[in-house]
């Protein structure tokens, strides 16, 4: 098992399971659009006894403009 650690963008701080730790790009659904993250750096924790393999992914773009209030119960401004 491998984990993607996301940085920046609307999913900052999220951890996602990775089926393929060698992926260089993640396209993740978000609200009514998709967001793109790219891997930077080498895989971490690749040993047999140091937990799941981790890959760092950084926000690149979203396919559409992201509305910061779309997932919030607050009224839109």
CA atoms within 13 A on the CB side of 57: 32
pTM for the whole structure: 0.76
Helix (H) or strand (E) holding 25: strand 25-30
Q: Is the pLDDT of residue 4 over 90?
A: yes
**pLDDT tens track for 24-64:** 999 999 888 899 999 998 888 877 888 888 999 999 998 77
- The domain limits of the chain are 2-62
């Amino acid at each position: 098992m491998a984990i993607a650690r996301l940085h920046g963008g609307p999913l900052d701080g999220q951890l996602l399971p990775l089926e393929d730790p060698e992926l260089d790009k993640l396209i993740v659904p978000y609200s009514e659009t998709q967001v793109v993250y790219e891997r930077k750096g080498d895989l971490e924790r690749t040993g047999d006894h140091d937990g799941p393999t981790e890959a760092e992914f950084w926000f690149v773009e979203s396919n559409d403009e992201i509305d910061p209030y779309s997932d919030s119960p607050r009224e839109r401004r």
